[in-house]
Structure 1
Amino acid sequence: MSEETPIDRARENATGIVSMLVTGIWMIGLFTGQEWWLPALIVGYAVFVPLTATLFGDEEDREEWADDVTGTVSGETTRDESEREADSPNEIPLEALRRRYAEGELTDEQFERKLDRLLETETLEDVEEYRERASQERERELE
């Protein structure tokens, strides 16, 4: 078993390190009243962090970063998200997401990312409608 050196750990975490440095630099500029803090923020996150992720990130990090930029998920077409998650008219997005995961269309990471996005955009009315529909289905099953 070989020990991991600090250089190895730095290389594995290069994207996080660069992100922290960029954040620290622009915050120093902001809090000291410098005028360059906003360009430092923009250039840091638009150039240095993606460049570091491309050079030092592993394949999963690069795919995730590319997915965030393009709004698609690796291996999927750019079909509209609402169209994809509501394949049948009565299927709610959560059920569609579960079905696609169960059928193997989505990896664990893709499922978790889409579930997080779905839960972030879920409205109270959607939740109430889902609960009402679920209780109606249970009542029908009991009859």
Structure 2
Amino acid sequence: MSASPAQRLRENLTGVVSTAVTGIWLAAMFTGQDWWLAALLFGYVVVVPVTAMLFGDEDDVEEWWDGADEHAEQSRAGPEDEDTTDALDTLRDRYARGDLTDEQFERKLERLLESESLEDVADRAARERRAADHEHDSREAERE
């Protein structure tokens, strides 16, 4: 079944509002209105984000609402969570800047999520250190 025009408008309202804001400030600028810069700023700093929070899809809502919770979440996170969060934030930033294509972003995200946690790496390093110490002790015992 195809979506009704009202459903499509609701699903795309953030894009529609962004386009309307752009049209309004461009029209004001080209007709010599003095308020075009105020329309641009108010539109993109207030109107579009509020529309995204209220009517955007889950990704839009998370993008705007999570910013406030992110700092609190990171302060509760342990050191291994901070490194994973930093790597994920860096990946998101590079994708948002357009440094990565969709395919590159997805591939790197998969790799990041499949990689070992820092705790796993620390455990493996400790095991390797114990094995090396044990081997060293065995050699010392053989020499005596």
Question: How high is the TM-score relative to the length of structure 2?
Answer: 0.51
CA distance in 2, matches of 1:43, 1:115: 27
State the TM-score, normalizing by the size of structure 1. Answer: 0.51
Verify: 1:77 aligned to 2:74, yes or no.
yes
Percentage of matched positions with identical amino acids: 46
1:7 alignment partner in structure 2:
6
Name the SS of the counterpart of 2:74 in structure 1: coil
Aligned to 2:58: 59
Q: How many residues align?
A: 93
The answer to whether the 8 A contact 2:14-2:56 is kept is yes
In structure 1, the gaps of 5 or more residues are 88-95, 98-105, 121-143
> Conserved in 2, the CA contact under 8 Å of 1:26 and 1:38?
yes
Per the TM alignment, residue 118 of structure 1 is displaced from its structure 2 partner at its CA by 8.6
Could you say which structure has the higher helix fraction? 2
1:44-67 superposed Cα distances (whole Å, 9 cap, x missing partner): 112211111121112321111345
Bigger-Rg structure (1/2): 2
Structure 1 residue 116: deviation in Å? 2.8
> CA separation of 1:19/1:118 partners in 2, compared to 1, >3 Å: closer, same or farther?
closer
Taking a change above 3 Å as real, the CA distance of residues 54 and 32 of structure 1, as seen in their structure-2 partners, is same
Change (3 A) 1:19 1:111: same
5+ residue gaps in structure 2? 100-144
The structure 1 segments of at least 4 consecutive aligned residues displaced by more than 3 Å after TM superposition are: 72-76, 117-120
1:78-129 C-alpha deviation (Å, 9 max, x unpaired):
68xxxx55x9xxxxxxxx83xxxxxxxx5xxx67514436985xxxxxxxxx
In the TM superposition, what are the counterparts of 1:1-143 in structure 2 within 5 Å? 2-67=1-66, 76-77=73-74, 84=82, 97=87, 106=88, 112-116=91-95
